[in-house]
Amino acid sequence: MELREYFQSYENYFWEWTTDEDVPDDTGYNENNLISIPNVGAIAYRPYVIEVLRELKDQGFPSFGSLLLVLYAIQDGYLNMDGVFYYLKKQNTAFGIDKSADIDLAIRFLENLNSLGSSIKKGQNKIILLKTIFKNTHNILSSGNSELIIKIFEKRPYKISGSAEKKKLVFPVINNDINALAYLQKKFPTAGSIIEAMKGIVDIPELEDEVVEEETTVETDKDFIQELIEEPKTFQVGSLIKRIWSGLKIPMRHLSPGEQPIGGISDMTNKGELHRMLLSEFANEDEVFMNRVANNEALYIQREIPPEENVFERIILIDTSLKNWGTPKVLAFASAIAVIKHPKAHSECKVFALGQTNVPIALDKVEQVIENLNQVSPLLDVSQALETFFDEKHPEKDLEVFFITHEENLANQKVQKVIHENRDKLKFIVTTSADGELNFYKYHKGTRKHIQKIVLPLQELWANPPQRKQKRENVSTNGKRTEVPLNYPILFPAPIKKMATFLYEGEFYILSNKKQLLRTYLSDNYYNKNYYDYYKIHHGCEVLIEDISVKPKGQFALARNKQHEFILCQYQPDKKLISKLNLNTKEYSELNLTGKNIPPIFQLIYFNRNFYLHHPTQDWIHEINLEGNISIEQVKNDLEIIKNQTKVDAEIKKLSNSGIKILNNFSNIGINIEDNLVISNSELNKLYDNSLTFYRNRHQLKIFAEQNKNKFTFSDGSEIITDSRGMLTFKSSNKNVPEFYIPSTDYGFLALATHTEFGGSEYYLPTSTLLKVKKMEDMYAECLKRFIDQILDYGT
């Protein structure tokens, strides 16, 4: 392969040669010195790419496109990976050949690379990383051919100009690049497996710190911006943020100059090391020289001190007046979140909504964004609130104030007056508009300067809003989720995170963070205490009601009315609000308690057909009715209420450690070289008699299941259906293997059950069940082993 062919660029492909006129090249050929992805960002300068290739020449070059994708994925800072993935997915339909499976594997590999720790992607470690993954990969050039390409470039760098002239894209180019990455994903299915392979080449102490347990829970694994995009109420805001990031020129860190010499006398000192002494000092006679050194009269070149980071606090003021409603307000909140959540932003940030007053708001959670998007003011301008903010004392040493408003509001005389009077305190102004245009202005020494304009293609970005989540989807084709039942023959694992726990008429209930009402059990009746000693009291739970419309704040109490419907009472002390929600009929009523003078020590409880705001030391308490619309009255405290609540608190404490970490973010399902099933990088193994547990997978996968939303299908037709609440359903293509279920938790012994039989930890066994209890080793042999054997037999 010749130099021109290896570096050749193509029409409508993901990368191209460009020229940065401000950066000279030491080869003397300054054209085509930068490789970039159109509308996404730069990959690397040519000298850097050539240096990487020099390091790889002994083992042979990988395909140039696959190398560029890897180099982009391991860059530091914000990367527009979605833009890269768009180009890759676009190639699936380019030649009418289905490459979707390989493209998905390639994307997964790039995501794994991107998730590696920063120490691995720097300096010599980066070279070791590249050598590790590209060793003996697909479509690799010979070392001799690779060395020849480097030698030709060193002699005639201008030959790159021929490669920069784009040719028509052909299928082998796409196929080589995609296949190389798909092969690497199969070879290195996880970020951890890449690190382990690097350890096999060289001993790198920093790698020990990078091998961290991969978090599999939705709460921590999911990107906040992605959560905004997936929530219909915040989709418009979330879909703008990364586009704003890609063009944002606001400095995320400020550097103080510190003690930086600028040349001349200021660059000299009379103390220093011998090698920093001015050469003119050595021209003195020996006695004079020694005398000057001894008396600190000799001159040295001063060591430069790098600039230090200036820690400052940002305050963002969002205009909520009439002109900044609708689309402009969406742009305002997107701009604010883009500044707060920027990957390079490390400063503290406070946000205020300006209306009739200054209201401090938080934008750290999806629920907070939804709530604060409803901040509206009927005022025509917020000049009074803006003036009030600047009149207040702000003791912070370094303060950076942003004011986000509609572009027409800058023409308002009152607003202009306040801005002019406080121009020394104001750092940035951001203006919004209804057509998606954002303008950024910076104040420097009292003078306003326009620094950039970002035009957001709103119609394009908002073209595919997410649908509101259905209670249960009932089809598995056309990209929709496979139906899962409300409950299974065995119990779900109890979640760790809960809004509240209740004891009602001898039964325990949980209000989970996923807004479900769960019923759980406590028991000490165990068949095998040797294996399941940890679970001598706790049991799993069953789902009673889902999609409860409730805010996760305040205090809760639960009861049933005369119709046996669940009534959830909620008390929010900060809002002075008490409310009731019928979980079965969704009937809701609330009451504002302003003026009731309820002490902050009062707690919401249930007793004898009523809710109470109660404290045992108070003579008078507040009673809230269970039936009908909500009302409240003051009643005398009762000793029976106190006694009952003491017992309830003691019982509920038994649930304090009942939660188990649930595996609910599923990927990489397959069978490893040890013939064990792997679910999301966890191996399902039977290491002890009569037990089944998830362990960290340390073996390479040899068979992969194809994913369609929450259904994973093997080549023989066997299926695993995942349920993010903590359950796996197994359906074998062998009809002699019954459908069976296994909980998905990463701690403790598991259970395995069909519709008629049960084995394993009794934590998952319902208190009232007709399931026949058998040994786990028998259930394993009859169900899971036969499930795996069917897949393996088909593969051979």
Model confidence pLDDT, tens digit, residues 713-738: 998 899 999 999 999 999 999 988 99
Residue 489: its pLDDT value, please? 95
Tell me the pTM.
0.44
With a cut of 90, say whether residue 21 has pLDDT above it.
no
With a cut of 80, say whether residue 694 has pLDDT above it.
yes
Tell me: do 415 and 508 sit in the same domain.
no
Residue 673: its pLDDT value, please? 92
Residue 200: its pLDDT value, please? 58
Model confidence pLDDT, tens digit, residues 479-498: 578 889 999 999 999 998 89
Cα–Cα dist 198/121, whole Å: 12
Cα–Cα dist 668/702, whole Å: 11
Residue 218 lies in a domain: no
Most confident stretch, 208-222, 444-458, 484-498: 484-498
Percent of the chain beyond pLDDT 90? Answer: 25
**477: Cβ–Cβ under 8 A, 6 or more apart, which residues?**
none
Tell me: do 729 and 650 sit in the same domain.
no
Residue 78: its pLDDT value, please? 56
Structure token pair of residue 187: 């070879």
Residue 493 lies in a domain: no
pLDDT confidence band for 252 (50 / 70 / 90)? low
Residue 260: its pLDDT value, please? 46
With a cut of 80, say whether residue 404 has pLDDT above it.
yes
Cα–Cα dist 432/410, whole Å: 11
User: Do residues 618 and 599 lie in contact, with contact meaning Cβ atoms separated by under 8 Å?
Assistant: yes
Tell me: do 650 and 788 sit in the same domain.
no
Residue 23: its pLDDT value, please? 66
Residue 475: its pLDDT value, please? 37
Residue 782: its pLDDT value, please? 94
Among 670, 662, 653, residue whose Cα is nearest residue 750: 662
Model confidence pLDDT, tens digit, residues 311-345: 567 889 999 887 888 888 899 999 999 888 887 77
Tell me: do 266 and 408 sit in the same domain.
no
With a cut of 90, say whether residue 141 has pLDDT above it.
no
Among 500, 596, 583, 509, residue whose Cα is nearest residue 549: 583
With a cut of 80, say whether residue 205 has pLDDT above it.
no
Among 420, 101, 38, 366, residue whose Cα is nearest residue 230: 366
N-to-C CA span, the chain: 38
User: What CATH number does the domain containing 400 carry?
Assistant: 3.40.50
Cα–Cα dist 20/31, whole Å: 8
Q: Is 21 helix (H, G, I), strand (E, B) or coil?
A: coil
Residue 34: its pLDDT value, please? 86
Residue 312: its pLDDT value, please? 66
Among 409, 294, 403, residue whose Cα is nearest residue 339: 403
pLDDT confidence band for 530 (50 / 70 / 90)? very low
Structure token pair of residue 494: 């109890």
Residue 484: its pLDDT value, please? 92
Tell me: do 188 and 246 sit in the same domain.
no
392: left (phi over 0), alpha (psi -120 to 50) or beta: beta
Most confident stretch, 98-102, 123-127, 372-376, 492-496: 492-496
Most confident stretch, 25-34, 218-227, 491-500, 654-663: 491-500
Among 28, 40, 35, 39, residue whose Cα is nearest residue 10: 35
Between strands 566-572 and 300-301, the pairing is unpaired
Cα–Cα dist 340/416, whole Å: 26
Query: Residue 217 is which amino acid?
Result: T
pLDDT confidence band for 203 (50 / 70 / 90)? very low
Model confidence pLDDT, tens digit, residues 225-244: 888 888 888 888 888 988 88
Residue 59 lies in a domain: yes
Cβ neighbours around 266 below 10 Å, total: 11
Residue 480 lies in a domain: no
pLDDT confidence band for 98 (50 / 70 / 90)? confident
Structure token pair of residue 123: 């300096």
Tell me: do 99 and 171 sit in the same domain.
yes
Among 571, 505, 511, 502, residue whose Cα is nearest residue 546: 511
DSSP symbol at 408 = G
List % helix, strand, coil for the chain (3-state, nearest 5). 30, 25, 45
Domain count, the chain: 5
Q: Which domain holds residue 775?
A: 670-795
Structure token pair of residue 600: 């902050």
Residue 478 lies in a domain: no
Tell me: do 63 and 140 sit in the same domain.
yes
Tell me: do 538 and 645 sit in the same domain.
yes
Length of the chain (residues): 796
Rounded average pLDDT over 652-657: 82
With a cut of 70, say whether residue 378 has pLDDT above it.
yes
By mean pLDDT, which of 233-237, 306-310, 507-511, 739-743 is the weakest?
A: 306-310
From 655, 690, 714, give the residue that closes a domain.
655
With a cut of 50, say whether residue 476 has pLDDT above it.
no
Write out the DSSP string of 530-568. TT-GGGSSEEEEEEEE------S-SEEEEEE-TT--EEE
Between strands 677-679 and 670-672, the pairing is antiparallel
pLDDT confidence band for 581 (50 / 70 / 90)? very high
β-sheet bridge partners, residue 256: 308
Residue 330 lies in a domain: yes
With a cut of 80, say whether residue 670 has pLDDT above it.
yes
Model confidence pLDDT, tens digit, residues 146-195: 888 888 888 888 888 888 899 988 888 888 888 888 888 888 888 888 88
Q: Is 514 helix (H, G, I), strand (E, B) or coil?
A: coil
Tell me: do 790 and 730 sit in the same domain.
yes
Residue 476 lies in a domain: no
Mean pLDDT of the chain: 83
Among 505, 536, 502, 534, residue whose Cα is nearest residue 518: 502
**12: Cβ–Cβ under 8 A, 6 or more apart, which residues?**
94, 169
Query: Residue 666 is which amino acid?
Result: F
Residue 225 lies in a domain: no
Among 649, 643, 648, 595, residue whose Cα is nearest residue 622: 595
Model confidence pLDDT, tens digit, residues 285-312: 988 999 898 888 898 876 555 444 455 6
pLDDT confidence band for 29 (50 / 70 / 90)? confident
Tell me: do 637 and 514 sit in the same domain.
yes
Name the residue with higher pLDDT: 769 or 222. 769
Tell me: do 200 and 269 sit in the same domain.
no
Write out the DSSP string of 391-434. HS----SSEEEEEEEEGGGGG-HHHHHHHHHTTTTEEEEEEE-T
Cβ neighbours around 449 below 10 Å, total: 9
Cα–Cα dist 719/733, whole Å: 8
Tell me: do 108 and 31 sit in the same domain.
yes
β-sheet bridge partners, residue 678: 670, 683
Model confidence pLDDT, tens digit, residues 379-403: 888 888 888 888 887 765 567 888 9
